Structure 1
Amino acid sequence: MALLCVCATLLLLLAAPSPPLYGSAAVLAGFIGGSLLLIVATAFGTYWMMSTTLRPVRAISGKLATIRPSNLSERVPLPSHDDEFRELARATNQALERAQAAIQEQLRFASDTSHDLRNPLAAMRTEIEESLMRREETDWAETADRLLDSVERLQELVSNLLEISRLDAGVVGHHDFLNLGVLVAGELDHRQSKVRVVRRFSSGVMVNGERIGLTRLLNNLMDNAERHARSTVRVTVEHRGDAAVLEVYDDGNGVPPEQREIIFERFARLQEARAKDAGGSGLGLPIARQIAEDHGGTLTVEDSPSGARFVARFPRPTALGSPDR
C-alpha cells in the first residue's frame, strides 16, 4: 500500500496541471506523508491489539501443552478480565477436573479389581498345593468341589467386569418397546429361587429398553434380594405417574438410611453382606444402577416397614409397541 501511494504521488507530480491541483507540491507531499504515517500507525496498532487480545489464548495453549496424564492436577491460568477467554479457561479447567476424576476412578477400580481377582486365585493355589502335598490322603472329588466354588466366583467377577467395561464405554444395545411385566415374569420363571417369590404385575407396563440390560438389572436385584431375604421376595411391576416401576423387596434386615448410597459404589459391601456371602464381588448393585441410568431411569433404595425395597423407575415411552413382546 505504501508503494502504491508513492507511485501515485510521483504520477501526480509528473502530470500535475499548472497551477498544481493541490496548490503546491509541498501540500501534496504532506498529504502523502501523513497517509503513510497513518497506515503504519494503524498496522502497528492492529498488531499490538491482536497480540494483547490473544495473549490469554497463548497462555492457555502453552499450559495445556505441558499437562500430562501424570500431572492432571495442574490447571490453566485464568485471564484477569471477565470475558470469553476467561470462560474458555474456566471450561478447560472443568474438563481437566473431570479427566482427573475419571483417571483416579479407573486407578481405584483397577486396584480393587486386582484385589478381588487375587483372592480366589490365592485360594485355589493354596487348595491345590495342600492337596499335592498329601496326595494319598486327599479326597479329590471334595477338592474339586471347593475349587469349583472359586472358579464360579472368578467367572462371576469377570462377567461383571466385562459388563462394567461395556457400560463405561457407552456401548448401547438395540432398544425396543418392551412389556416390562412379561419380561420380568419370563425371567422369574427360569430362576431357581431359594426363597418364596411373590409377584404383583400390572398389565401393559411398557418401557423403551434393551432386553439384555433390563434382564441383567432384574437378576442382579433378585440375587441381592435372595441373599438377604429371610423367607420371601416380592416383585412388583406397575405404573406410577409417568414412570414404569420395577420394585424388588426382601424381608431381610434392610439397609440403614446412611448406607443407601454406599451400596451402589463399586466393590462396596456392607458388613452383613460379607457375612452372608464372602464370595460376593460388590458389583451387582452398581451395575444395576448404571443400567437403569443408561435407560434414562433411576434405581434407589426406598423406605419400607422392614427389609430392603429397591425401586427402579423408567420413563414411559411416548409410543407403545406390541404389549406381548
Structure 2
Amino acid sequence: MISLRAWRNCSVKTRVTTVASTVMALVCVFASLMLLMAAPPPPLYGSAPVLAGFIGGSLLLIAATALVTYRMMSKTLQPVRAISGKLATIQPSNLSERVPLPSHDDEFKELARAINQALERAQAAIQEQLRFASDTSHDLRNPLAAMRAEIEDSLVGREETDWAETADRLLESVERLQELVGNLLEISRLDAGVAGHHDLLNLAVLVAGELDHRQSKVRVVRRFSSGVMVNGDRIGLTRLLNNLMDNAERHAHSSVRVTVEHRGDAAVLEVHDDGSGVPPEQREIIFERFARLQEARAKDAGGSGLGLSIARQIAEDHGGALTVEDSPSGARFVARFPRPAAPASLSG
C-alpha cells in the first residue's frame, strides 16, 4: 500500500521513465532466454567474457532507455510547466493575463486554450459583479440620501414640521429601499442556483389566482386556455408574473392583456400592454440589470431596473425563455416554458 501511494505521488516523467526502463529490462531478459534456449552446444553463455558483455550491454541499454525517455518527457512537458508557472502568477486583480499557447497543435495546446477561455469567463464574471456592486450601491444610496435629507430638514424646523406628512414621504423611500433589497436578495438566490421546489402546476389557475389578488391600476383582460401545465416553482413563477404585470401597468395607457395558452410544444404566458412599446433595438437592453429606458425613468423615477432581469432569469431557470415580440401596439412580453412530458396530476 505504501509503494502504491508513493507511485501515485511520482511525477509523470518519473512514471514514464520507470515504465520504459522496466519494459526494456523485460525485453533483455526475454531475449536472453530465447538465445539460451535456441543456442546449440556449447551454449553461448559458456564463456564468461561473453556473458559479462551481454549483461553489461543490457544494463547499458536499459540506462540509455531511461535517460532518453526522461529527457524526452522533460521536453514534452515543458508547455505544462510554462502553463502552471503562468497560472501561479495570475491573481484575481489581473485576470486579463493569459497562459502561453504551445507551438504544436496537440492536447497541451487544447488545455491552454481551455484555461484561457476559463480565465476570460472568470474575468467577465468579476467585471459583471463589480458593475453590479457599483450600480447597487448607487441605487441604495439614493433612497437613503432622500431619507436623511428629509429627516435633517424636519429637525431644522421642528415646530413647523408636519410629522405625519414627513412620515408618509419617508415611508415612500423605505418602500423603495425594501423593494430594492428584495430584488437583490432574489438575484443572489438565482445567481447561486438555489432552485425552488418544482411541482406540476396549472399555469392558468396560478395566473388567475395572482391576478385576483392584485389591485391593478388599469383594466386587465384575461384570455386563458384550460390544461396549460408546467413543471415549475410556484413562488418563482408568481414573481415572474408580478414583475411583468408591474412593468405593463407602469407603461399601459388603459389596459393590459394576459394570455395563457399552448403554442406548439410550449406553455406560453403573455403580458401585453397598450403603451408605447419597446423599440426593437432596445428589446435586449431592457433585460440587463439596472437598465432603464428614458421613458421608464420619466414614468417611475423610483424603479430599480431589476424586475425584467429577474423575470427572464426565472424563465431560464425553468428551461424556458422570456422575450419581447412584435405587436401592432404596446409591448408584448412572451414567456415560454417546456410542456411536461406526461402530466400525472393537476396542482392549482
Which of residues 308, 318, 322 is equivalent to 1:285? Answer: 308
What is the match of residue 189 of structure 1?
A: 212
Structure number with higher relative contact order (C-alpha < 8 Å, ≥ 6 residues apart): 1
Shift of residue 24, structure 1, vs aligned partner: 3.4
Say whether residues 1:82 and 2:105 are aligned partners.
yes
Say whether residues 1:274 and 2:290 are aligned partners.
no
What is the match of residue 14 of structure 1?
A: none
Which of residues 207, 230, 244 is equivalent to 2:267? Answer: 244
What is the match of residue 96 of structure 2?
A: 73
Which of residues 235, 243, 253 is equivalent to 1:220? Answer: 243
Say whether residues 1:315 and 2:338 are aligned partners.
yes
Residues in 2 aligned to 1:19 and 1:94: alpha-carbon distance in whole angstroms: 69
What is the match of residue 227 of structure 2?
A: 204
What is the match of residue 49 of structure 2?
A: 26
Q: Is the 8 A contact 2:199 2:347 kept in 1?
A: no
3-state SS, counterpart of residue 322 of structure 1: coil
Question: TM-score scaled by structure 1?
Answer: 0.93
Say whether residues 1:139 and 2:159 are aligned partners.
no
Bigger Cα displacement from structure 2, 137-146 vs 213-222: 137-146
Which of residues 322, 326, 344 is equivalent to 1:299? Answer: 322
Residue correspondences, number: 312
Q: Is the 8 A contact 2:287 2:308 kept in 1?
A: yes
3-state SS, counterpart of residue 193 of structure 1: coil
Residues in 1 aligned to 2:86 and 2:341: alpha-carbon distance in whole angstroms: 48
Residues in 2 aligned to 1:318 and 1:57: alpha-carbon distance in whole angstroms: 47
Bigger Cα displacement from structure 2, 70-79 vs 113-122: 70-79
What is the match of residue 125 of structure 2?
A: 102
Amino acid at match of 2:317: D
Residues in 2 aligned to 1:292 and 1:147: alpha-carbon distance in whole angstroms: 34
1:96-152: CA deviation from partner (whole Å, max 9, x where unpaired): 111111010000000000000000100111111111111111111111111110000
Residues in 2 aligned to 1:202 and 1:19: alpha-carbon distance in whole angstroms: 101
Amino acid at match of 2:259: T
1:170-208: CA deviation from partner (whole Å, max 9, x where unpaired): 000110010000000000000000100000000000000
RMSD: 1.7
1:34-59: CA deviation from partner (whole Å, max 9, x where unpaired): 11211110010111122122222222
3-state SS, counterpart of residue 267 of structure 2: strand
For 1:91-170, list aligned pairs within 5 A: 91-170=114-193
Shift of residue 29, structure 1, vs aligned partner: 2.8
What is the match of residue 15 of structure 1?
A: none
What is the match of residue 197 of structure 2?
A: 174
Bigger Cα displacement from structure 2, 186-195 vs 131-140: 131-140
Question: TM-score scaled by structure 2?
Answer: 0.87
Amino acid at match of 2:153: E
Shift of residue 20, structure 1, vs aligned partner: 7.2
Residues in 2 aligned to 1:161 and 1:217: alpha-carbon distance in whole angstroms: 15
3-state SS, counterpart of residue 252 of structure 1: coil
Bigger Cα displacement from structure 2, 149-158 vs 75-84: 75-84
Change over 3 Å in CA distance of 1:272–1:285 after alignment to 2: same
- Aligned-pair identity in percent equals 89
Residues in 2 aligned to 1:196 and 1:36: alpha-carbon distance in whole angstroms: 95
What is the match of residue 9 of structure 2?
A: none
Q: Which runs of 5+ in 1 are unaligned?
A: 6-17
